[in-house]
């Protein structure tokens, strides 16, 4: 299991477009991937799940992965969030 915390950089947070990029990236990995905000954990490969967290800019989230490529999954998702989704 690999776990990292990251601050959402873009102002609008994980709304539809950035959430779609996040989910597409999560789906590139074989590992199970979750995103957690304030004790709520959802499947990072589910658009409705990620959107249901209502993640705004400046929010601290936790990315968790378990499986064969867990470290790469977490590292790449953290990089994507830190990049601000190129917005």
Q: How many helices (H) and strands (E) does the chain have?
A: 3, 4
The residues annotated with a catalytic role in the active site are: 15
> Look-up: residue for tokens 């905000």?
37
Q: What angle do CA 18, 21, 22 make, to 5 degrees?
A: 85
Nearest to 68 by CA among 36, 35, 28, 40: 28
């Amino acid at each position: 299991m690999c776990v990292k915390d990251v601050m959402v950089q873009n102002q609008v947070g994980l709304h539809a477009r950035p959430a779609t990029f996040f989910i597409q990236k999560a789906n590139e990995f074989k590992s199970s991937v979750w995103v957690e905000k304030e004790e709520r954990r959802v499947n990072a490969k589910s658009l409705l799940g990620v959107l249901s967290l209502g993640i705004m800019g400046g929010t601290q989230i936790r990315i968790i992965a378990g499986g064969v490529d867990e470290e790469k999954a977490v590292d790449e998702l953290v990089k994507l969030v830190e990049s601000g989704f190129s917005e």
